[in-house]
Amino acid sequence: MRSILYSLLLIITRVFLPVLGLFNPKLNLFYKGRKNLLNNLKKVLSHNSSPIIWVHCSSVGEFEQGLPVIERLKQTYEGWKVLVTFFSPSGYEAVNNELVDFKFYLPLDTSANAKEFIDSVNPKMALFIKYEFWYNYLKELQKREIPTFSVSSIFRPTQIFFKPFGKWNRRMLKAFTYFMVQDQQSLNLLKKIRLENAAITGDTRFDRVLKIKEDPTRFPEIEAFCQNKKVFIIGSLRPEDDDVVFNLVKTHPELKFLIAPHEITEKHIQKIEQSVGSSIRHSMLQEADTNKQTLIIDSIGKLSRLYRLADFAYVGGGFSDGIHNILEPAVYNLPVFFGNSYYLKYKEAVDLTDMGGAFPVANASQISDKLKKLEDENYLQQTKKSIEKYVNTNRGAAEKVVALIEKMAEK
């Protein structure tokens, strides 16, 4: 019965997508990206004779999480190709990486699509990063006995898999060859529903941010803007964070601010400009603009490397549906602030808060109070050391994941 309802929902989605896309740019990309998708996929793959590893990511964040694993797999399985699929347009549009041989949207999870997709790709193994669970694709992979792995997955008691009415959803989990989970709670939850094919490997995002830290990319024009002053960077700013951030900028004229919106829209950028006063967009930055207080980063792809220029960081999302990646600033040992409404489900946020390296806040005055304490050099260095220790302790997850994949894929 659940399978029938699920199929009906997908049919309804497919019918209404073109109409909904007229009113929503993201849904329009979602729809257009899937037009003639399977035919295009077959055409692209028709000349390929190499074995394929299929990696599925929801969006760009999950892709970044999967990159350290992809890199190691390419080294381990020399000559194999990596095909990456995305559910979200933001992931598909943003990603352009030399480690990826083929990039496609994931066709809607119908039974027919799953069969045709796997027929065409013929993957030797499949990896689903973090939260991705698609019933028909998993069912088809299981039927064909293709090794299938859940990588850097994390489970919580509130998820439907662990509810009395979650039997149909639990069936999906049985399709996985092995789970590489982030923490003990996830392992315990899987064992509770009699899934023993799991191990704690950690979070591969630690490996990713450590790799990014080694990247020599510099931004001399932004360094010049900072003028050797203390810099507070605002990463992935969401509209729900605006009041806190705007008040913070107004009350700290002694600081330079770099603001990177989560979604770069003209409407949000104009709101930032009107609210913070002395500002300039990065795309318009001139040498004479170094007297401005705030630089608005109005392009994507720079944020993770800009954190190295800062002394403090605020990461958006804590007042909306969940904070963005706080490990990106943490790898540079930056004290990290974020909204206190939606952070408890993020292990790294809870861990760093407990260790004194991260600070959930309700308003700008709480950030100001903490900044005052961080003026104490001993306290600041103690905070930085706690963050550094945490990041370094959690490195090496990708190596563990690939070692398990090698072992399980041989069985």
Residue 281 three-state SS: strand
With cut-offs at 50, 70 and 90, classify the pLDDT of residue 88. confident
Phi and psi at residue 151, in whole multiples of 5°? -105, 130
3-state secondary structure of 40: helix
pTM of the model: 0.89
- CA–CA dist 213, 193 (Å, integer): 39
CATH homologous superfamily of domain 219-392? Glycogen Phosphorylase B; (3.40.50.2000)
Helix (H, G, I), strand (E, B) or coil at 1: coil
Task: Tell me what the mean pLDDT of segment 108-122 comes to.
Answer: 93
Q: What is the pLDDT of residue 93?
A: 72
Q: Which of the residue ranges 26-35, 161-170, 247-256, 268-277 would you say has the lowest mean pLDDT?
A: 26-35
Of 11-25, 26-40, 275-289, the poorest mean pLDDT is in 11-25
Average pLDDT over residues 102-125: 93
Please say if the pLDDT value at position 20 is more than 60: no
The encoded tokens of residue 394 equal 């959690």
Residue type at position 113: N
Find residue 57's DSSP bridge partners.
86
Query: In the block, which residue shows the tokens 């909306």?
Result: 320
Task: Note the pLDDT of residue 24.
Answer: 63
Taking the C-alpha atoms of 209, 215, 221 and 225 in order, what is their torsion angle to the nearest 10 degrees?
40
Average pLDDT over residues 368-374: 97
Write out the two tokens for 319: 């007042």
Cα(230)–Cα(227) distance, rounded to whole angstroms?
9
Q: Could you read off the pLDDT of 195-208 as tens digits, one per residue?
A: 999 999 999 999 99
3 state SS of 153: strand
Q: Tokens in use for 279?
A: 């500002």
- Whole-number Å distance between alpha carbons of 61 and 201: 19
* Neighbour-count burial for 211-239, b at 16+ CB within 10 Å, e otherwise: ebeeeeeebeebeebbeeeebbbbbbbbb
Average pLDDT of the residues of the chain: 91
Q: Report phi then psi at 46, rounded to 5.
A: -60, -25
Report whether pLDDT(299) > 70.
yes
Q: Is residue 103 exposed (0-12), middle (13-18) or buried (19+ Cβ within 10 Å)?
A: middle
Least confident of 19-23, 114-118, 165-169: 19-23
pLDDT in tens, 316-351: 999 998 899 999 999 999 999 999 998 988 999 999
What is the CB neighbour count within 10 angstroms for residue 156? 11
Average pLDDT over residues 125-134: 92
DSSP class of residue 239? G
Amino acid 402: pLDDT:
96
Distance from C-alpha of 72 to C-alpha of 91, rounded to nearest angstrom:
21
Residues near 258 by beta carbon (within 8 Å), at least 6 away in sequence: 222, 226, 231, 232, 233, 234, 294, 295, 297, 306, 309, 310
Supply the pLDDT for residue 277: 87
What's the confidence (pLDDT) of residue 262? 93
Residues of the chain with CATH 3.40.50.2000: 219-392
Residues of the chain with CATH 3.40.50.11720: 14-202+396-409
Q: Is 234 helix (H, G, I), strand (E, B) or coil?
A: strand
Q: What was the pLDDT predicted at 294?
A: 96
Which 3 state secondary structure label does DSSP give 253?
A: coil
Give the residue with greater pLDDT, 157 vs 34.
157
pLDDT at 234: 98
Task: Pick the more confident residue, 253 or 96.
Answer: 253
Angle subtended at Cα 41 by Cα 39 and Cα 46, rounded to the nearest 5 degrees: 95
Coil, strand, or helix at residue 296?
A: strand
Residue 287 has pLDDT above 70, yes or no: yes
At position 21, the amino acid (one-letter code) is G
User: Which fold does the domain 14-202+396-409 belong to in CATH?
Assistant: Rossmann fold (3.40.50)
Q: Which two tokens stand for residue 203?
A: 């979070």
Give the pLDDT score at 290: 85
Nearest to 257 by CA among 275, 387, 339: 275
